[in-house]
Structure 1
Amino acid sequence: MTLEFLITALVVVLVPGTGVVYTVAVGLGQGRLPSIAAAFGCTLGIVPAILASVLGLAALLHTSALVFQLLKYAGVAYLLYLAWLTLKDQGALSLDRDADRSTLGLTSVAWTGFLINILNPKLTVFFLAFLPQFIPANAVSPATDMLAMGGVFMAMTFTVFVVYGAFASLVGEHVLRSQTVLTWMRRTIAVTFAGFGLRLALADR
């Protein structure tokens, strides 16, 4: 595993995407523990994409227009649904700090993060293009190397997302006291998810 891979992977993880926005939103509204659950769910949602890349299923997704489009529009619909939930202040994206933080509540938060990533076909295609670049030409077991790099990528994702969530939790404790701030925060997060949905809808393979 090269230093070039580690640096590139870290840069990719640090760039805000749907997972980061979701984890930050949960941290802002519900606190540190739920944000960790969100980070865990988003990280777990990477597993199918990595396995698909290793097993060659990502190539099938890349070449099959129908499968790609079906998964893409399922992802678009889910992002728009999250935007609607945010405006309604319901579900895992509620900015109510008195929301349910039981095991069931944390499971729901993690499950939403998992679905955000698993319903994004471009994530699978990304790993298909990304991981093989760092496989040495003389590699004895390319599949094992890809799995190892995928594991490191997941560890980076979880760590970075937890940091994002913890910071958002601290900010939320101080800024989410005004109803006006809460309203604008909901609108901003909702528009962000809707924007991600629109970008995914316009994405090509």
Structure 2
Amino acid sequence: MISLGFIVTSLIVVLVPGTGVIYTVSTGIAGSKRNSIAAAIGCTLGILPHLAVGILGISAVLQASAQIFKVIKIIGTLYLLYLGYGLLSSKQKIEINGGEKTEHDGKIIVKGILLNLLNPKLTLFFFSFLPQFITNPNANYFSQMLLLSSIFMGLTLVIFALYGILAHYCKQLFLNSPKITRRIQRGFGLILVGFAAKLAFSED
């Protein structure tokens, strides 16, 4: 049930610099490796409520109508295109000030939770993203969504922790390499657009 497309697309989504990545990287630059892991844990826990709403909402909708399932897949494909285009056209850079400071891990975790918890776009994202990778419409939607969500959260935790730890050890690379960051960002954007095109022409 878990396709390579889901793993690759999830990795791209997690790797793309967003508020959670910026928070984890900045924590790694300003604090310790332990602080970085705490930030990753907080950001990962912060997406739990959005995943729960997405799973319950999608499961109910998909069980009600196969046609609605197709509509959601179309919306999700368009959303992947939107994300890809946003990466290709965005001029946003990660700009973080250097410095050394140590903060209590509990406080860092709470900040990470609130950062993602208060982002309403995440619910829309999971509602439109996860159904793209349900490979067996005849099986239980809830169990499939739960498995996909668990894998996504695991990837989020690992990648964010790596981001923070690498940022701690490679401060100057993150602070002084906007061109490299921009090229990676564009590459992710192209891959997302490619997956959106693949999903658009795939059989249900």
Shift of 1:128: 0.2
Which 5+ residue runs of structure 2 have no aligned equivalent? 61-95, 176-204
| Aligned counterpart, 1:67 | none
Q: CA separation of 1:135/1:174 partners in 2, compared to 1, >3 Å: closer, same or farther?
A: closer
TM-score, scaled to structure 2: 0.62
- Label 1:58 to 1:110 Cα distance change in 2 as closer, same or farther (>3 A): farther
Amino acid at match of 2:148: M
In the alignment, structure 1 segments of 5+ residues that lack a partner are 60-92, 177-205
Task: Report % sequence identity.
Answer: 42
Instruction: Work out the CA distance in 1 between the residues paired with 2:131 and 2:151.
Output: 15
Residue-by-residue CA offset, 1:9-66 (whole Å, 9 max, x unaligned): 111111110000000000000121101000000011111111001111899xxxxxxx
Question: How many residue pairs are counted as aligned between the two chains?
Answer: 139
Question: In the alignment, is residue 154 of structure 1 matched against residue 153 of structure 2?
Answer: yes
* 8 Å Cα contact 2:30/2:101 also seen in 1: no
Q: Residue deviations 1:111-147, cap 9 Å, x none?
A: 1011111111110100000001111243421111111
Alignment of 1:42-57 (within 5 A): 42-56=43-57
From the superposition, tell whether residues 58 and 146 of structure 1 become closer, same or farther in structure 2 (CA, over 3 Å): closer
> Contact conserved, 1:23 with 1:39, CA < 8 A, in 2?
yes
1:97 is the counterpart of 2:100: yes
Corresponding residue for residue 36 of structure 2: 35
CA gap of 1:15–1:38, structure 2 versus 1, over 3 A, is same
Paired position in structure 2 for 1:168: 167
Change (3 A) 1:58 1:31: farther
Which residue of structure 1 lines up, in the alignment, with residue 107 of structure 2? Answer: 108
State the secondary structure of the residue aligned to 2:170. Answer: helix
Residues 53-202 of structure 1 correspond to what in structure 2 (within 5 A)? 53-56=54-57, 97-100=100-103, 105-172=104-171
Equivalent-residue separation in structure 2 for 1:49 and 1:26 (angstroms): 23
Name the Cα RMSD after superposition: 2.7
